Amino acid sequence: MVRFKNVSKIYQGHQTALKDINLHITPGEFVSIVGQSGTGKTTMVKLMLAEERPSSGKIIIGGWDIGDIKSREIPSLRRQIGVVFQDFKLLPNKTLFENVAFALEVGGEQQEKIDEIVPQVLRIVGLESKMNRFPRQISGGEQQRVVVARSLAHRPKILVADEPTGNLDSINSRDIIDLLKKINDFGTTVILVTHNREIVNDLTRRVITIENGVIVSDQARGKYIL
């Protein structure tokens, strides 16, 4: 599903973000990638989405070789990978329904299919009854749920959550993590990128720890050790 083979990423100015990364994430796993800010976690996300290319090594995502992927293939790749960021990035003048629908419209989905899918994914996150509200009319935790719903619109095989609880209090953070676990139970591979020690330790799932661009620990049922 996701495989990094001896992957390094060096930016201009010879700044090494990742060095000789090897990992394999299998279908249906729930994996936390942890480490302090600036350790290379965000670079890993950018590589998975083909926003960046590796300086060396090979990255395989669901059959695509990220180092050789063609520009015209990137939209297909990204439909297989749902992404949830810390910043909600919701469109303020669109309803919750329209925010989720927009992701499908950009992908060229037919309106009939949009009308079918949007209520389904809003139901999964518990917001079907609020689909006609605007982002300003719901809480921060609910806004992040809309982001999760939007990420599920294309029914991705992989969901990457990059600091999804960074702007939330502890109660809403726990709700979002519970939602990610529910999505994982449906069979979606979930990759949680975070520096939140409490959340990771409560999960008792696989934990990959990165320090200074290097994997220092990979535990099947681990804790945040740094």
Share of the chain above pLDDT 90, in %: 80
Tens digit of each residue's pLDDT (9 = 90 or more) over 97-112 = 999 999 999 888 999 9
Would you kindly state where each structural domain of the chain is located, as residue ranges? 1-80+158-226, 85-155
Give the Cα separation of 49 and 183 in Å (integer).
20
Q: Mention every residue, 6+ apart, whose C-beta is less than 8 A from residue 112.
A: none
Beta bridge partners of 211: 214
Q: Return the HEC string of 95-124.
A: CHHHHHHHHHHHCCCCHHHHHHHHHHHHHH
Q: Is the pLDDT of residue 6 over 90?
A: yes
Backbone angles phi, psi at 220, to 5 degrees: -65, -40
**Residue 223 CB: number of other CB atoms within 10 A?**
16
CATH of 1-80+158-226, one of 3.90.1170.20, 3.90.330.10, 3.40.50.10860, 3.40.50.300: 3.40.50.300
Of 57-61, 115-119, 199-203, 206-210, the one with minimum mean pLDDT is 199-203
Q: Is the pLDDT of residue 225 over 70?
A: no
Would the pTM count as exceeding 0.75? yes
Q: Provide mean pLDDT across the span 102-124.
A: 94
Q: Is the pLDDT of residue 177 over 80?
A: yes
